[in-house]
Structure 1
Amino acid sequence: MMIVPLAVPAHGVFNGESPGDEVPVGAVEVTMTGTGQGSAVTGGLPPVGAAFDPTTGYPADVPEGYETDNPSFAGVITTVDLEGNTQQMYCIDIRTSTYAGLGYEGGTWSESNVPNIGYVNRVLNSYYPEQPGLPAGAPSDDVRAAAVQAAVWFFSDGFVLQDTDPVRPFTLAIVQAVLLAGPLAEPPAPDVYIAPPVAAGPVDGVTGPFTVTAAEGAELTVSVPEGYTLYTDAAGTVPVTNPVGSGIQVWVRSTVQTTDPVVINARAVVPVETGNVYLYAGNNPDVATAQKLILAADAEVDSTAEATAEFFIAGDLAVTKTFAGAAVGQQQAISLTVDCGPAGQFLIEIPAGAAAAVSETITGLPVGTVCSVTESTTGSTSAVTVTVTLPDPVEIGEGENTLTVMNTVEYNPGSLLVTKTISGSGAGLQDDILIHVQCGDGILDETIILPAGTASGEYTQLYENLPAGTPCRISEPTSGANEDVTVESFFTGDVSIIAGEVQVTGVTNAFAPVPYTERLPKTGSASTASLALAGGGALVVGALLVMGSTRRRRK
């Protein structure tokens, strides 16, 4: 073993005291402690920056133009987590050194930026130490570990063993088998999560919730730096007591009342699959970069997850619904949507029949947020129409801000259908029939005339756009009875206009002929069997809308 000064390019893995002192870093999951099985090897590397393609096969010897590189150690690197669990790693970065005491944190393949790492993962999952005793035929685990590390370096860095190196036959067999089998996919990351990754809240309140989970229900330790505290309730009254169960929700408070964001850290010992990458956590000010490591065998690792809590100066928004109009209280349920952009959307439900002003307050909105309100459901029905008056958007300032939405509720108009039925064996012998229609105080005042001789049948007259609640009645000043016929009249009664509906009222005339022996002598000609408007109106043909009328109607 040897220590290589930082000024000299280091090749391979070197174990020794790191230059400088480590400092606490929250991201550290494992610490490099030394080396395990392995041995020295001899070989060469392609020049820095030169391309290499391991899929073309393992060269018969170190290619011409390669730089000589004889790592004093090729094999397993050992690490330990905060709970004392040990792990076995391999190097995937031959040109960079590592030292005992350097801290590492879990990373992704893309973050490692190591080429051909899928083939590396195939090596790891197929050979020592994940598969004890492989490659077969090796005289010891030291040789197996060195052969596996050399194969890993071939894919990650282009490293090729000399044809005289005793480890070479085993590395060659590994490379050939792995090229035939193909690469493996990236394994899942350690199952420790905090969700969401970022949340924001008012500086004078709490931010959250953050849900922390770990594989197999493992207990977690959740922490924040000094100046911040964690709670298990949204009110921020119940402090977190570690360890906590998987799935717990936590909230963060800034006890120093600063808007500076804070990183929440969750730790748990969970299973980690072979092939996960570990990257230098930067816990030594004198070491800028350190070797990249990859997990050589499944292990239990004290793994971490992080999330960020942000804090902002907040304001409140009072959203008020007011009502006006003659039909207030007759509307159905109302839905308001308050859109505050990135701060969220808020739904306000107002039950049917509300008459007094209704107000709800949205708290903890970041100052500067712009909020607008829309009314997706107005409460209009067939009986009432609701007219909505929306305010302009408001920019949230400190303290209370307001948005007021006015709903004007008015009754919809209704209609009156007047029916006249002429029946009996004397139908057609009658004189003019006059029906007087009166609704409210001058809203509708009209006389319908059915000319003398109108045949039996049903005749109707529709009056629309009458105010809801208006009382209507009909009378028959002239029934059409004469010396030839008698009449018996049947009225359906008074009605009141209902918004959005058609109210029906009418009168039926049953005519019976007077015996000839009882009739008086006639003079003049018979009246026409048509229905005309009184005062010389229009002639209407058919069974519907054929009643003439004179009207005095208030608009």
Structure 2
Amino acid sequence: MLNNYYPVVPGAPALSTDAEKVAAVQGAIWYFTDQFVVPEFGYPAQHAAIRDIVAATQAALSGGATPAPPLPTLTITPDTATAPTTGDVVGRFAIGGSVSSSTLSTRGIDVFSDAAGTESVPEGAWVPPGSSLWVRYASTVADEGFTLETSQTVEAGNVFLYDGGNPGRASAQKLILAAQATIPIRASAAITPMAAGWFAADVTVAGVAAGLQGAISVTARCDDGTTVVESSGTLAAGTPAGTTRVVTLSAVPAGATCAVTQTADGHTAGAVLTSTTTVPASVVAVANSTVSATVTDTFARPTPTPTPTPSPTSTRLPDTGASAPPSWGMPAALLTAGLALMVLDHVRRRSRASR
């Protein structure tokens, strides 16, 4: 109807002005889109023109509808997300569409081309379809998010529908393009800030055997009923006495309940675990602050095993077979006899020498 009945309306010579022609085409469109019939009373010329346009259109459609004119497309998927106030990078946002490229504008966020948030995409940068973007909360302003925009030539006949993007306006009239035009093509992603903080899990090693223990593992977990944030960490074996931060959770929703659980206590043959305490047992996360819980493991040296006392052994000389204890008299007599023989022998030698 737009291509064939404006600005020339066949069979309606009474329509002399552009306004009358526009009204006739609009009335015919309403007939198909809203089942609205322009009354003959008060609009006799338009009524006749509308009747002719509707009849000709119905006849044309009986042979098949004309293909819809192509529309340029630009998409951001997803088009909504939540970004924690801790500054953690969120995404991925996939950029799609048929346009060649589009320009980035941001509000209250920083945009990156990598998940680590090291490659910044500045305001006004060109972003082609197929790109991936990540964002980070930057400041509290109204309507945080980012928009991609370009312009494209659009053929007549396209119908534009309201996307509901204006606050307080639930619906709006459709717009039908009556002539070729260059129009803006936009896509946006709305970012909602989430008040968030950090939760830290510390491990304290204490006791006389501190430093002799094995690895100690803990799991930190925060849950607000909707979002669960969890991670585990390990304190290396042999860590000396003291307190060490083992796990830090980020992007923890404010109000979430957080706790730490020990999964390996580090006891070894040389370090006996005598006690484990966790203080506090649980804690509530606070926006833009760090809350923590500490697991304290106390180690002692193992108790020495007592050495058994040996059984007493006899020192009595072997039995000689005598029925009475040995007498010291005979050894003494033998010793005296031996000395006498030595003296006698000496005297004999001196006698021989004097001869």
Taking structure 2 as the reference length, the TM-score comes to: 0.54
1:317 pairs with 2:199: yes
1:242 pairs with 2:126: yes
1:201 pairs with 2:192: no
Paired residue for 1:357?
243
* C-alpha separation in 1, matches of 2:186 and 2:322: 115
* C-alpha separation in 2, matches of 1:227 and 1:262: 5
Structure 2 counterpart SS, 1:383? coil
Q: Give 1:499-510 correspondences, 5 Å limit.
A: none
* C-alpha separation in 2, matches of 1:305 and 1:522: 123
* C-alpha separation in 2, matches of 1:482 and 1:213: 103
The letter of the residue matching 2:65 is: A
CA contact 1:383–1:412 (8 Å) conserved in 2: yes
CA contact 1:207–1:251 (8 Å) conserved in 2: yes
Paired residue for 1:10?
32
Paired residue for 2:294?
404
* C-alpha separation in 2, matches of 1:384 and 1:329: 8
Q: Give 1:47-446 correspondences, 5 Å limit.
A: 74-81=65-72, 194=77, 198-202=81-85, 205=87, 207-212=89-94, 221=102, 223=104, 225-232=106-113, 234=116, 238-240=120-122, 241-243=125-127, 246=130, 248-255=132-139, 257-258=140-141, 262-264=144-146, 280-282=161-163, 287-288=172-173, 308-341=190-223, 342-355=227-240, 356-359=242-245, 361-386=248-273, 387-391=275-279, 392-398=281-287, 399-413=289-303, 415=305, 437=307
CA contact 2:202–2:292 (8 Å) conserved in 1: yes
Structure 2 counterpart SS, 1:78? coil
Post-superposition shift, 1:213?
A: 5.9
* C-alpha separation in 1, matches of 2:213 and 2:103: 51
Paired residue for 1:447?
309
Report Cα offsets for 1:20-46 as digits up to 9, x if no partner: xxxxxxxxxxxxxxxxxxx84459xxx
Post-superposition shift, 1:335?
A: 1.6
* C-alpha separation in 2, matches of 1:6 and 1:206: 55
Paired residue for 1:490?
none
CA contact 1:41–1:74 (8 Å) conserved in 2: no
Report Cα offsets for 1:530-553 as digits up to 9, x if no partner: xxxxxxxxxxxxxxxxxxxxxxxx
* C-alpha separation in 2, matches of 1:7 and 1:219: 33
1:480 pairs with 2:342: no
Structure 2 counterpart SS, 1:10? helix
CA contact 1:333–1:378 (8 Å) conserved in 2: yes
- 1:308 and 1:340, CA in 2 relative to 1: closer, same or farther beyond 3 A? farther
Report Cα offsets for 1:392-435 as digits up to 9, x if no partner: 2111224332212211122344646xxxxxxxxxxxxxxxxxxx
* C-alpha separation in 2, matches of 1:339 and 1:375: 12
CA contact 1:194–1:306 (8 Å) conserved in 2: no
Q: Max radius of gyration: which structure? A: 2
* C-alpha separation in 1, matches of 2:147 and 2:322: 113
Post-superposition shift, 1:3?
A: 2.8
Report Cα offsets for 1:497-534 as digits up to 9, x if no partner: xxxxxxxxxxxxxxxxxxx6x355489xxxxxxxxxxx
Structure 2 residues without counterparts, runs of 5 or longer: 2-23, 35-55, 151-158, 177-183, 326-355
The letter of the residue matching 1:379 is: G
Report Cα offsets for 1:288-347 as digits up to 9, x if no partner: 5699xxxxxxxxxx9998755331233333432212212111111122111012251122
CA contact 2:143–2:190 (8 Å) conserved in 1: yes
CA contact 1:282–1:288 (8 Å) conserved in 2: no
More helix by share: 2
Percent same amino acid at aligned positions?
16
* C-alpha separation in 2, matches of 1:332 and 1:379: 4
* C-alpha separation in 1, matches of 2:87 and 2:146: 17
CA contact 1:372–1:393 (8 Å) conserved in 2: yes
Post-superposition shift, 1:375?
A: 1.0
The letter of the residue matching 2:235 is: I
Post-superposition shift, 1:378?
A: 1.6
* C-alpha separation in 2, matches of 1:81 and 1:264: 20
* C-alpha separation in 2, matches of 1:390 and 1:404: 6
- 1:227 and 1:316, CA in 2 relative to 1: closer, same or farther beyond 3 A? closer
- 1:347 and 1:197, CA in 2 relative to 1: closer, same or farther beyond 3 A? farther
